[in-house]
Structures are given as structure tokens and as C-alpha cells.
Structure 1
Amino acid sequence: MSDIINLSYALDTFYILMSGALVLWMAAGFAMLESGLVRSKNTVEILTKNVGLFCIACLMYYLSGYAMMYPGEAVAANNAYWPGFNFFVGDDNVAKEIVSGANESTYSGMADFFFQIVFVATAMSVVSGAVAERMKLWAFFVFAIVMCGFLYPIQGYWKWGGGFLDQAGFVDFAGSGVVHLTGATAAFAGVLVLGPRMGKYGKDGRINAIPGANLPLAALGAMILWLGWLGFNGGSELAIANIDEANIVALIFVNTTLAAAAGGLAAILSAQVILRKPDLTMLLNGILGGLVAITAAPETPTPGLALIIGAVGGVLVVLAVLSIDRLKIDDPVGAISVHGICGIWGLLAVPLSQESASFSTQLLGVGSIFAFIFITSLVVWFIIKAVIGIRVDPQVEYDGVDRHECGIYAYPEFIVNN
């Protein structure tokens, strides 16, 4: 029996670590997707943001994020709404076995810590695309410190740390709200403070398209994200070493894939009807929208229902991107639509597959996460704006932030030296 327990522990721990590695690989997906959807003169900066934010996320989650989000036995939370300011992971938090699930599966606490690190980085990655091409690099990094070290862990504690949303019965299996809606809401607040890119909206109300520089790269990024999402959703089961858990993981993989495929197809069909063309960017964002939507509960729908949830997400992406543009809210990569609107839809769709989940409780979760992150992010953005500024000068924006912010170009062969 001891050998069986040891094998189960080792297998579950290995599964969580490999799932976390897949989620880490999503950072490359975000970097490729966003660099493909911005103009060539801003490529280096968007890559720097994506790589830099991952470094910041890892360090801040180690310093304060994990201890606040999961106070655990070492430091008790103040109450169900406020976990308190806790710092450093500490041996008491991670150097132990964790017991969870109906079958009492066990795994290393250190593996869980690693898995959670890559989740907070994913949330911050959502922000970088929405504020692309006109935000100061260091202003973005300062916000990343606050977001990853404090804002994300507080609302994450409400659900995954055993706070008031978890106690109320709010369901968010892998993070449609905790990760994706949180990132999109922080991005939304930042975009409102930042304003649109120069030339995006004409004085006559015209919306000017600003095409990305490298759509093959964007397509590669979307496919990398799809692959990584299997670890994102599948790994959230936190176990695979028995028949029941293995079957659930298999269902999660199938549902995640079907939702993504349905989201992409629904988006490109919607684009054909509305825009009279099969827009590639809508297809890519439709895939991501389907993935975000199924993330709230990938373990309970039938494959057929997962397909429907993903398809609705794909349609919502197209409608949301066009609607947000008409409101003159400039989101170069569609991050607010994909991660925000589809995150909300995914959370509200949970009762379709879980009788114990209530629409009102899911709505409470949506409202709580949005209100907290929007208000606190808005305050942080305004403070950063007042202290160091958040937007580059008009000439810098015209020349491209690569030249002035980073000093190098991604495509130097296109640069003419005068």
C-alpha cells in the first residue's frame, strides 16, 4: 500500500509540474500573438513587456502573492474578504504534502506553488496587449508589481483561497474569472486612462484599422496558447493518479479542445456575415474566446455542451471587438473582448452543467471581481500617471516605441538610415 501511495504522490506531483510547464509556455504564445498584432515599430517593446512581466510575476508571487492568496496554516487570514498583508512563501506553505479531492489525492505543495506562479503571469499577460503601442515600458512594469503582488492575490483568495466567494458557492474551476476577467478588467481600466493610439479614431467618428505587422506570428501564438491551455485547464484538476481523476482529465482535454475549435469556427462565420470576409484575427481570437469561456467549468459539461459554450464565446468575441471599437476604446489585440466578455460568459454558463451552481452566485462573483479590480487598478494607473506618466510622447509614438524605449528594432532591415 505504501508503494501505491508513493507512486500516486509522485505521479500527481509530476502531472501538476508538467501542466505548469505548459502554462508557462503560454507566455510564449502571448508574446507571439501580441507581437504579431502590433506594428513592426513596436515589436521589441511588446516582447520586452511579455518577458519582463513574467519575471516580475514570478518574483512578486513568491514575495507576497502566494502567501496572501493562500494564507494556509502558517498565517491565518484576517477574514473572508481580506487575507491580510502576508509575505514570502515560507516552508510552512509549500514544503508539505497537500491533500485534496474526493479520493484524497496527494501532491507536493511546491508543485502547487509553481502551478500558481504561472497563472498570475497569465493574468498580467492579458494587460500587455490591450495597452500596446503607446504605454511607457516602466509604467507597465510598475503596475505589474502591484497587480501580481497584491491585486490578483486578494481577489484570488476570495475563491481559491477559501474566501467569501468560495463560501458562497461561486464556481471558477480554472480561472475564467480569477485569471482572465481579472486581467481584462485591469487592462480595461488602463486603456481608459491611457486613451487610444494616434490615428485610430478620426474626428468624423471614423474607425481606422491599424493592421498588425506579422500575422503568421500571431497565428503561431494562438496555437501555442491552445496547447498551453490544456495544461491550464487539465492541470487544475491537480490529480491524475487514479481512474476517476484520469477520466476527468481526459474529459477536460476534450472539452477544452472542442470549445476552442467551436469558438474559432463561430468567430470566422460571424466575421463573414458581419464583415463580409473571413477575418483571420477574428478566427484567432474566437479560438481564445472559446478557451476562456470553457475555463470556468471544463470538467462537468458534456462534449456537446462544451462545444456550444465555446461557439457562443466565439460569436461574443466578434460582437465585442466591434462594439468596443465603436465606443472608441482602443484595444489593439482584442484582449478585453476575449478575456473579459468571454470570461463573464464562461462564469455565467456554469449552471448549465452544474445543478448546484446558481446564476445569482456566479453573478456575484463576476461583479465582485470586476468592481474590485477595476477600482483598484484605476487608482493605481492614475497614481502611476501622476508620478512617472504612463503614455509616451506623441513623437515617440509616431516613431515607434522600439526606437525610443528600447533602442533596438525587431526588423532592422526595414530601417532607413538617413
Structure 2
Amino acid sequence: MTELFFVNSLWIMLGAILVIFMQGGFILLEAGSTRMKNAGHIAGKTIFSFGIASIIFWAVGYGFIFGSNGNFFVGMSDFFYSGEETLETSYSKAAFFVFQLAFAGIALTIAFGGFAERAKLSVYLIFALIFSSLIYPIVAHWIWGGGWLAEHGKQDFAGSTVVHLTGAMAALAATILLKPRIGKYNKDGTANNLHGHNQVFTALGVLILWIGWFGFNAGSTLGVEDGFFGFIALNTNLSAAAGAISALLISWAIMGKSDVPTMLNGALSGLVAITASCAFVETWAAVVIGIIAGLLVFYGARLVEKLQIDDPIFALSVHGLAGVWGTLSTGLFAAPELASVGKPGLFYGGGLEQLGVQMMGVTVTAIFSFAVSFIALYAMKKVMNGIRVTKEEELMGLDLSEHGSYGYPEEFTNKEQKSSNELVVHSPLNTQS
């Protein structure tokens, strides 16, 4: 084994660690964007969901994606992955396995954004099994595992389609079947803003995700020998920055106030969009991609709300719309000298061919992920006597109803004590003669 083997393997493991640490960013982002009474539940289900994704990926997910004895649709070997090393690659295959496992975990976490604050814990568990075995791995095989979209030259360097769009479409199926949270919409169809309980948590979560994205995108080079990972990191940062700025400015111009959640979602949308194209476009295009992603997340969130789709974590606009835009952007901006997969984009004289491939990939991925997710959740809804908690449990909060304890025990204990004292003070039995 050469020195390059060890260096590349170390780089891949660093990328895997950064991507796994993104789960911490999602905990803060999702908990901060929702109500206090569900914070502990959100944190806990994120950890156990990653645990389920890890076991399923080891058992069948990796084999369905990268198995050599497969076909255009799915791989069919390397199940219950053993971790054996060979000299066939310039990096550790076990490190590569952990890196890919981290991506599968992120896709599942994105999908669960559509379940927030109203799904039963048992639904998370069962859907995690289905998504991690039958949805994500099949899409990943089509594009990254030598499947039929790879044969057409589909460009998706680090997962705008594979990870983000796949997760977002599963989230869409969930939020349609679960229906809006109590109090989200009025009888006349107007929406109420169910504010998240901690914008500082949300901002810190976005920053952690931003840092983790360097593992997501730059780590996907799977090597350090040519230094190309630095260029990808540069494109990643530029797009995130442009997305944050454009989202803040458009919210300021339209709403009269610079909305903090919109700005944070703009940064994320820039990251999601550049994930497909970070290795294929020049730096100026990365800025353009981020700017458009920031605008899309603002208008997309408003459209989703107008359609009375309750998306608490903005999975549809941040990961869905930005994922679509990022995937299509390579069909426009892929530079000839950077198009290591597929062909140059429209603006470089490549015509409409690559854009057509990108559109085909987006369409089939969205339909497949949504359809399988919807069918699975609909079947669970019929078999399990519903997939949503009761009205009483939702009002109480999932911390207490699903886990028997609060994420903020002192806060709620103090409120309960205060309420109890007020009842005693105002009781008609507590009067002085």
C-alpha cells in the first residue's frame, strides 16, 4: 500500500466525519425551527434514525448501490459488507463505505423534515427501514453505481438529486398524508406562522451544515493528488454565500424586513444547488447558481404555504427546488474542461443534450421517490391506524407523549408549577373569611 493510498483514505474519512457531523447541524436546525415542546423528540429521533440508516446501509443499501452483480436498476452484491480491503483502488474501501453511509443518513434526515411535530415515532422507525433500503439506494445506483442514468452521463457530483431531491420528495409525500399541524391554517385558507423556538439554534445548525458541506462536496473527490478538492470547496462556499445574500435581500425588498429564517434557508439552498455542479462549473457560475437558489427558496416557501402544504423545516424549497435547480444548472454551466462526466452545458456550446439528461434525471427521481414513499406511508396509515399522533398528543408535544420527558424539563416544570399555583390562588375554596 502506497503513501497516496493512506492520504486518500484519510481524506475520505475526514469527509465522512464532516458529513456525519452534519446530523448535529440538522438537530439544531430542525429543533430551532419548531416548537419547544418537540425539541427533545427531534434530537432523539435524529440519532436513532441515523442508527437505523447505518445498519440498513451495511446490510443491503451499499450492495444495492455499488454491488457488481446488478443491472441498470439495482446492484446485487456486497450485502452485509465485510470491510475487506483490496489494492484495486487508491483508497480504503472501508473508508469509502463509511463516507457513502453518511450520505444515506443525510438523505433520510431530509425526508424526515416533512414528518416534523406530528408523526408517530413508530412511523419514523418503519419508514427509515423502507427509505434506507428501497428508495435511496436505488436512486443512488442509477446515478453513482453505474445504473442507467450514469450510462446517459447524468451529472450529480455530490448529490443534489441523489441525496437532496430524493429526501425532499419523500418529505412531500409525508406532509401530504400527515396533513398540516394544528393551528397552521385558518378556515379561510390563510396561514399562521408557527414560529420556531430558537433562531440561535437554527443559525448555529446552518453554520455546522455549511462546514460539513466541505466534506459533502470536496470529500467526494475521493483523493487529494491533484488538489481539485480546493476548487470544489471554493465553489461550495461561493454558492452558499450568494444564496444567503440573495435570500436576505429579496425578503427585505418584498417584506420590508430582512427575515432571518429566509436568509438561513438561502445559505442552505445555495449549498444544495452547488452540490451537483461544484466539480463541473467555473467560480462565476457558482455565484450565479447560489443567487438563483436564494431567490427560489424565498418564492418556493411562499408557494408551498399558499398550497396549504405544511413544511416545517422547508425541506421542499431548500432541498427540493434548490436540488432541482442545482441539477439543471450543470446542463447550462458545465464547462468543457470540467465536464469529467457527461457533456458541456448549453452556455458553452454543448446544446440541449446535457440539459435534457439532467431534466430526465430530475423527473424520474422525483416520481420514483415520491411514489414509493407515498405508497409506503399510505399503507402504514391503513395498517397502523394512522401515522399521526392524536390531537391531544400533538398539543401536549411529542417530547412528553412519545418519550415521557421534556427536552426542556425545567422550563415546562416551572410553567406547570406556576399554573398549579395560580389555580390554588384563584380557587373559590382558597378564600379568607
Select 2:81's aligned residue among 89, 111, 127.
Answer: 89
Give the residue type in structure 1 aligned to 2:138. Answer: I
**Partner SS for 2:276:** coil
- Once the two structures are aligned, what percentage of the paired residues are identical? 39
| TM-score normalised by L of structure 1 | 0.93
CA distance in 2, matches of 1:153, 1:98: 23
Deviation at 1:135, TM superposition (A): 0.6
Structure 2: distance between partners of 1:98 and 1:369: 31
Corresponding residue of 1:362: 358
Name the counterpart of 1:414: 411
Which residue does 2:367 correspond to in 1? 371
Q: 1:98 deviation in Å?
A: 4.5
Determine the structure 2 residue equivalent to 1:320: 300
1:119 equivalent in alignment to 2:99: no
* Match of residue 161 from structure 2: 177
Shift of 1:128: 2.1
Paired with 1:263 and 1:108, the residues of 2 have a C-alpha distance of 35
One-letter identity of the residue aligned with 2:366: F
CA contact (8 A) 1:177 1:344 kept: yes
Deviations 1:210-263 (A, max 9, x none): 0001111111000000000000000001010x2x2x1x1111111100100000
Structure 2 match to 1:191 = 175
Q: Radius of gyration: which is bigger?
A: 2
Counterpart position of 2:196: 212
2:183 and 2:75 map into 1 onto residues whose CA distance is 44
Q: Which residue of 2 aligns with 1:392?
A: 389
Using the size of structure 2 for normalisation, the TM-score is: 0.90
Q: Which runs of 5+ in 1 are unaligned?
A: 100-105
Over the residues paired in the alignment, what is the CA RMSD in angstroms?
1.3
Secondary structure of 1:391 counterpart: coil
Letter in 2 for 1:55: G
CA distance in 2, matches of 1:276, 1:322: 15
Shift in CA distance, 143/86, structure 1 to aligned 2, threshold 3 Å: farther
How much does 1:86 deviate? 6.8
Structure 1 residue aligned with 2:334: 353
What is the total number of aligned residue pairs between the two structures? 398
Q: What is the distance in 1 between the residues matched to 2:47 and 2:395?
A: 24
- Would you say the 8 A contact 1:46–1:128 is kept in 2? no
1:158 equivalent to 2:142? Answer yes
Residue 334 of structure 1 is matched in structure 2 by: 314
Contact 1:97–1:109 under 8 Å retained in 2 = no
Q: Following the alignment from structure 2 to structure 1, what is the Cα–Cα distance between the partners of residues 390 and 175?
A: 16
Question: 1:103 — aligned with what?
Answer: none
**CA 1:234–1:287 in structure 2 vs 1: closer, same or farther (change >3 Å)?**
same
Structure 2: which amino acid aligns with 1:70? F
* Cα distance, 1:304 vs structure 2: 1.5
SS at match of 2:309: coil
Task: Determine the structure 2 residue equivalent to 1:140.
Answer: 124
**1:98 touches 1:109 (CA, 8 Å); kept in 2?**
no
| Residue matched to 2:347 | none
1:97 shift after superposition? 3.5
Q: CA deviation at 1:144?
A: 0.7
Which residue in the other structure is 1:344 paired with? 324
1:275 equivalent to 2:272? Answer no
Q: Could you tell me which amino acid in structure 1 is paired with residue 19 of structure 2?
A: V
Q: Relative to structure 1, is the Cα distance of residues 96 and 181 closer, same or farther in structure 2, using a 3 angstrom cutoff?
A: same
SS in 1 for 2:91: strand
- 1:294 and 2:274 aligned: yes
